[in-house]
Amino acid sequence: GAGVSQSPSNKVTEKGKDVELRCDPISGHTALYWYRQSLGQGLEFLIYFQGNSAPDKSGLPSDRFSAERTGGSVSTLTIQRTQQEDSAVYLCASSLLGAARDNEQFFGPGTRLTVL
Amino acid sequence: RKEVEQDPGPFNVPEGATVAFNCTYSNSASQSFFWYRQDCRKEPKLLMSVYSSGNEDGRFTAQLNRASQYISLLIRDSKLSDSATYLCVVNIWSDGKLIFGQGTTLQVKP
């Protein structure tokens, strides 16, 4: 079946512009996660959705970052007034259940964001 | 201190070698443990879960030591295709999220 999809795959923007990144999770997966990965670095947790609610927003780096999820499916991550340090690969993942023992997360291919 | 720490490497080994990676975690409330694999410029994928009793999947063996709060991954008879970054991951069930280590890079040479 279809995996997690993300769009766009690449985004180049100018400093100060807003960007919107989209994630389509695997159908039926209740939990959705956003991560950021800078070059040569590990995954940095940003936010987690269980259904449409976000019980954990602790990873959002600043108030320029926001995310929403509608209909328990598609999620968008919005970055306002982008800065060069926002350049990274933004990865979305989904899992069948949230807090579960074998909480395998399935990742999308990511959106590579470059802020000039 | 990072919640999950790994030696970033790189580990350069010849084909056929046995290589081991270790990882330590700081939160004793961690309840589930995993190794994910990430190929260059690709997304991470689950390699295997790690259980207290230790578990094996072909050439891969994972071990968990809760008392010392470390996790290991052993790869036997390394193949060129094993070249990747291996991410140590822990989960606290009440949090629902996974905490990833920085990853250990493995390069298997002919």
Whole-angstrom CA distances from A31 to A96, B43, B53, B62, B80 are 6, 18, 28, 26, 35
A40-94: pLDDT as tens digits: 778 888 998 988 888 778 889 999 999 999 888 999 999 999 999 999 999 999 9
Please state, rounded to an integer, the average pLDDT across all residues of chain B: 92
Strand A43-50 to strand B84-91: parallel, antiparallel, or no bridges (unpaired)?
Answer: unpaired
| A100: confidence class by pLDDT, cuts 50, 70, 90 | low
CA–CA min distance B87, chain A (Å) = 8
Q: Does the pLDDT value for residue B30 go beyond 90? A: no
- Option in A31, A43, A103 nearest B32 (CB): A103
Looking up tokens 């800078």 gives A38
Chain A residue at shortest CA distance from B30: A101
CA–CA min distance A25, chain B (Å) = 14
- Cβ atoms B71, B64 nearer than 8 A: yes
